[in-house]
Amino acid sequence: MAISLKALRNQVIVITGASSGIGLVTARMAAAQGAKLVLAARNEEALSQLVNEIRDKGGQAIYVGADVGKEEDVNRIAEKAIAEFGSFDTWVNNAGVSIFGRCMDVTIPDMKRMFDTDFWGVVYGSRAAVRHFKERGSSGALINIGSFFGDRATPIQSTYCCAKHALHGWTDALRMELEKERTPISVTLIHPGRIDTPYNEHARSYISNQPAHRGMIYPPEAVAEAILYSAEHQKRDMYVGFQAKFFAVLGALAPRLMDKLMEAWMFYSQQSDRPSKDREDNALYKPGYGMHERGTHQGWIRSGSWYVKAEKHPLITTVALTTVALALWLFTTSSFIS
């Protein structure tokens, strides 16, 4: 099974959740590299503005107003992409929304609604993309945006992390089945750490303080970099930020220690020091505001992710780390002998 992915400049890329945050940044970066774009979200006004922006700069893009929680809307995205460009090469399942609240406080209808977007939207998008790639008979890339909360559960965002756990499981199962069938589709799972997007402002809040990240926060450009690299290169996983990989590994090796660390830190670090917006002011059931790349978080916002850059060049990274380790070993050995 040989998977051969096109250069970005020759690709048609579908991006859901393109009206803000990671989707918006990815669309702008992809357009700058010459990709043709099919942009989907519920906020059609923002999508129209983004498409005009891309076209004014000489790019090619269309938009589709769609709720990814509805299978018929997702299928319509694929149909519009094929009608406009004849095909598509990469499908990015990015749309998502969160709920901040304790397990016993969040209502069941709110939980189900969030699963419609964060889990079922990915299932619908994956199936639409795989069907098209199989019918076309050539390679394609499916990129699903997970979370480090999909590797390790957190308090306060229980519904979100459960949906991301399900998304991770779906992605891994689908990848194995396609590989067993020798179908030339690259399936990548992106594991972002804490990212500076309006996701906190779009979330439904059951807590007294406004949801927000504290601590180390990565820019959405780092996630977009991982997405666009995966559109051109077959990758199983891409972790955005060392924190994402660290928490996944520590949670697997020392789960009780991780429980205690998260109990001590995550209640504080997922909320700001200002009052929360009204519970009805969110993007769970209606479109959130668009054309904003960044959120309103309180922490150290990095300029990029060295971990993503290392994942893009694994051989060079391995050689460099081996060289550093050997140099340290020689230094300590010579010091001990002398």
Domain that includes residue 67, residue range: 8-304
Q: How far apart are CA 21 and CA 227, in angstroms?
A: 13
CA-to-CA distance for 287 and 192, rounded, in angstroms? 23
**Is 200 a domain residue?**
yes
d(CA 51, CA 112): 31
- For the chain, the average pLDDT equals 94
pLDDT number for residue 110? 98
2 inside domain = no
Segment 156-169, tens digit of pLDDT: 999 999 999 999 99
- The answer to whether position 330 is within a domain reads no
DSSP label of 304: -
| Domain annotation covers residue 99 | yes
What's the CATH number where 158 sits? 3.40.50.720
Cite the active site residues. 160
250-306 confidence digits (pLDDT tens)? 999 999 999 999 999 999 999 999 999 999 999 999 999 999 999 999 999 999 999
> Is there a domain that residue 238 lies in?
yes
> Tokens for 104?
């016993």
Calpha distance 143→267 (Å, rounded): 30
- 95 within a domain of the structure (yes/no): yes
CA distance 4 to 19: 30
In the three-class reduction of DSSP (H, G, I as helix; E, B as strand; rest coil), residue 238 is classed as strand
When pLDDT is averaged across residues 90-96 and rounded to a whole number, the result is 98
pLDDT at 42: 98
Strand 61-65 to 36-41 pairing: parallel
Number of domains in the chain: 1
Domain assignment present for residue 273? The answer is yes
- 321 pLDDT higher than 50: no
For 180-211, write each residue's pLDDT tens digit. 999 999 999 999 999 999 999 999 999 999 99
Query: Six-digit token pair at 119?
Result: 């889990």
Does residue 1 register a pLDDT over 90? Answer: no
Structural domain contains residue 336: no
